């Protein structure tokens, strides 16, 4: 069984000196177009009390005689960058994103080419206004005909090429294995089977070297080659964390048919005064997001658990909830069965047995003794609301 999905393939590229100069020029023009749109709108409003729309802004930027030098590069990435800017403002005014920021010269640079901006011959990629194909390290074949190609230059000076495709992804064979996950700080991922994946501490391991590398460019002369090399040493940690998260999420999806994990309010917990740095280092936001789209690709099921469901304070066997469970308590005894419960493993097992019984959005929950609802609506256990025949097997009444 197959399904049409959008996928991206990323490869390392090694442009020649002439190609690198052409790409640097394209990056600069794309950055000018992206940053020039809000400047034109601001000047028109505060200077002439005029409001110009997207089409007029695009005409002033691309087709104006004073900016005829933009024709030195392909118009495909320029037009695409205008669409990116328009979409950014649409999301901002709709309240879905923050106000778009200006792109800086020393940040990551990118240019997107759609169909017509690159001839594709299976294994050779020649971008518009290039005489020779790019030297790309092909680590795996591209699954289908690419619909767009994005060339990126990392802050460290590395170049990458990403192919966006729409292809039929083969579903994985079904397995009769379900798993619950708990995300933590001592262990990044804890499974309901008891398996624990330790915290790699990507930031803590290189924190001193990172601080030294961030101070080094200040001592170098502006626009010098040594300043550029010192600045390139800074952006290394995120790559290792991203690689670790991708490999972990792919393994979990391949080994399990249904994956259940607690839905964290990552933006809220990052406001913690002492744990914010450690929370950001383990990638609580990235792992569930990757699990969700990887499960969709391969025909698996990913179930997010409601963030206020007490997976840690409730015994997974007898459903008894304790009133208070400090963060320092890693093991606690169940008041009914007396079993010594591992805090993280118990949370993963509760996530597994909870699975799809979250209730629809806006479901009113009546209070349960010993629990406090942060939203003030009160809780109602779904197993209490069901008849004995409808309760999940193996779960006694609370």
Residues annotated catalytic, as ranges: 182, 262, 344
- CA angle, 192 as apex, 295 and 291 as ends, to 5°? 20
Q: How is residue 107 annotated by DSSP?
A: S
- C-alpha–C-alpha distance, residues 73 and 345, integer Å: 57
74, 210, 236, 287 from 264: Cα distances, Å: 43, 28, 26, 11
Cβ atoms within 10 Å, residue 111: 24
What's the length of the chain?
A: 398
CA nearest 259: which of 290, 283, 280? 290
User: Which residues lie closer than 8 Å to 396 by C-beta, 6 or more apart?
Assistant: 318, 319
**Which residues are paired to 13 by β-bridges?**
136, 159
Contact 300, 251 (CB under 8 A): no
185, 238, 264, 340, 380 from 310: Cα distances, Å: 18, 32, 13, 17, 12
């Amino acid at each position: 069984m197959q399904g049409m999905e959008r996928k991206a393939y990323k490869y390392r590229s090694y442009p020649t000196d002439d190609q690198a100069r052409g790409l640097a020029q394209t990056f600069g023009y794309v950055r000018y177009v992206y940053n020039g749109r809000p400047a034109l709108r601001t000047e028109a409003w505060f200077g002439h009390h005029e409001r110009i729309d997207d089409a007029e802004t695009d005409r002033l930027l691309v087709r104006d005689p004073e900016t005829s030098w933009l024709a030195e590069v392909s118009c495909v990435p320029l037009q695409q960058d205008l669409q990116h800017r328009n979409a950014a403002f649409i999301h901002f005014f709709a309240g879905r994103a923050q106000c778009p920021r200006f792109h800086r010269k020393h940040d990551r640079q990118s240019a997107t080419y759609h169909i017509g901006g690159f001839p594709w011959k299976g294994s050779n990629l020649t971008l518009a206004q290039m005489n020779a194909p790019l030297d790309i390290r092909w680590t795996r074949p591209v699954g289908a005909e690419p619909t767009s190609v994005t060339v990126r230059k990392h802050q460290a000076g590395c170049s990458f090429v990403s192919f966006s495709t729409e292809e039929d992804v083969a579903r994985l064979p079904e397995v009769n294995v379900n798993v619950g996950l708990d995300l933590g700080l001592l262990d990044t991922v804890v499974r309901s089977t008891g398996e624990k994946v330790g915290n790699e501490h990507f930031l803590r391991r290189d924190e001193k070297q990172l601080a030294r590398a961030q101070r080094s460019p200040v001592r170098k002369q502006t626009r010098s080659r040594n300043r550029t090399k010192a600045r390139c040493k800074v952006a290394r940690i995120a790559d290792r964390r991203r690689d670790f998260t991708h490999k972990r999420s792919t393994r979990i999806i391949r080994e399990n048919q249904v994956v259940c994990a607690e839905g964290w309010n990552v933006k809220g917990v990052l406001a913690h005064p002492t744990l914010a740095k450690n929370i950001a280092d383990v990638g609580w936001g990235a792992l569930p997001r990757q699990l969700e789209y990887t499960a969709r690709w391969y025909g698996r099921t990913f179930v997010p658990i409601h963030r206020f469901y007490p997976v840690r304070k409730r015994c997974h066997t007898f459903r008894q909830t304790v009133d208070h469970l400090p963060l320092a308590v890693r093991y606690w005894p169940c008041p009914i069965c007396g079993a010594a419960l591992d805090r993280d493993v118990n949370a993963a097992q509760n996530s597994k047995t909870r699975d799809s019984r979250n209730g629809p959005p806006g479901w009113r929950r009546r209070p349960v003794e010993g629990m406090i609802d942060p939203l003030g609506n009160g809780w109602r256990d779904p197993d209490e609301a069901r008849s004995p025949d409808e309760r999940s097997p193996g779960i006694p009444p609370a």
